[in-house]
Amino acid sequence: MTTPVYSEFDDLRRESESWWYRARRTLLREAVSQALHGKREGCVVDLGCAAQLEFDGPALFRSCNISASLKTLAYRQIEGDTNLVCSRIEELALASNSVDAIVAGDILQSCTDDLAALREMRRVLKDGGLLCLTVPAYSFLWGEDDETRGHQRRYTISELRRKVNTCGFHVHRASYFVASAFVPMAVGRVAKDIFHKSIARHEHYPRPARIGDAVMSAVLDGERHLMHYINLPFGTRVVCWALKPALVTEAVTLPAWERKWAARPLAQGSS
């Protein structure tokens, strides 16, 4: 019996099993749980299939896994995922105000127009809906891997906050993540610039030994729990939690003098 076409998905399988992708999955799923807490039913969109959402049991919650990559969708289908949709992030094939939460793992940096993508996410979110996204941090960490993956940019917290706010969201929290890998990655970038040594282009994260993978997974679990209390000051990723504000109609009471001058004017010629 020959092995099926799995070989062409080796890179996706290797990534899916790596310490960073597992940590990101846990982080995004935790955000989904918080967004749906106390709700009897809801709809969640996983942009890029990073969280690999599947709600078991009868249900009250619906998930939709969206990606613009046919290869990613094919691999997720082989792995048993359902509710897969091929769509550009800048033009989501979803109705307005139809989604309770959106999670986007390392997607925004690949969009040609990230502001258009953020506005589209706001369009499909319901009032009060949650957006949780992760993006690569710091432009000085830019490397060949970013170019290979078609990245357009990297972000700082202040830049991401500004863009998310500009697109009509209210930023609830923003923090750096993967602080433990920041120094090794920064040193590697400096060494590359000094010695002009090319970085491997085929793996986002070279697969470490099993013990190293377990150690990094434990470290990132610790960072994730620490972020429940504080925002990390640096890291190789930025995590942002934002809400779509609900429209509020305020009852405005005019002061007495303003009501007087707003009254009907006297007829011409009257005293």
3-state secondary structure the chain: CCCCHHHHHHHHHHHHHCHHHHHHHHHHHHHHHHHHCCCCCEEEEEECCCCCCCCCCCCCEEEEEEECCHHHHHHHHHCCCCCEEECCHHHCCCCCCCEEEEEEECCHHHCCCHHHHHHHHHHHEEEEEEEEEEEEECHHHCCHHHHHCCCCCCECHHHHHHHHHHCCCEEEEEEEECHHHHHHHHHHHHHHHHHCCCCCCCCCCCCCCHHHHHHHHHHHHHHHHHCCCCCECCCCEEEEEEECCCCCCCCCCCCHHHHHHCCCCCCCCCC
> Contact 137/236 with Cβ under 8 angstroms?
yes
Of the pLDDT bands very low, low, confident and very high (cuts 50, 70, 90), residue 102 is very high
Residues facing 99 on adjacent strands: 125
Average pLDDT, the chain: 83
pLDDT higher at 57 or 26:
26
Q: Is the pLDDT of residue 5 over 50?
A: no
For residue 141, the one-letter residue type is L
> Contact 67/111 with Cβ under 8 angstroms?
no
* Least confident interval from 12-16, 58-62, 157-161: 58-62
Model pLDDT, residue 210: 74
Average pLDDT of the segment spanning 103-116: 94
List pLDDT tens digits, range 163-192. 999 999 999 999 999 999 999 888 887 777
Residues facing 238 on adjacent strands: 135, 176
Model pLDDT, residue 4: 47
Average pLDDT of the segment spanning 106-122: 95
pLDDT higher at 21 or 2:
21
Rounded Cα distance, 189 and 139, in Å: 11
Rounded Cα distance, 220 and 215, in Å: 9
β 84-86/61-67 pair status: parallel
Q: What percent of the chain has pLDDT over 90?
A: 46
List pLDDT tens digits, range 28-54. 999 998 888 878 788 999 999 888 887
Q: Is the pLDDT of residue 266 over 80?
A: no
Q: Is the pLDDT of residue 141 over 50?
A: yes
Domains of the chain: 5-261 (3.40.50.150)
Model pLDDT, residue 45: 93
Model pLDDT, residue 3: 44
List pLDDT tens digits, range 223-245. 999 999 999 999 999 999 999 99
pLDDT higher at 134 or 184:
134
* Least confident interval from 14-18, 56-60, 174-178, 232-236: 56-60
> Contact 176/235 with Cβ under 8 angstroms?
yes
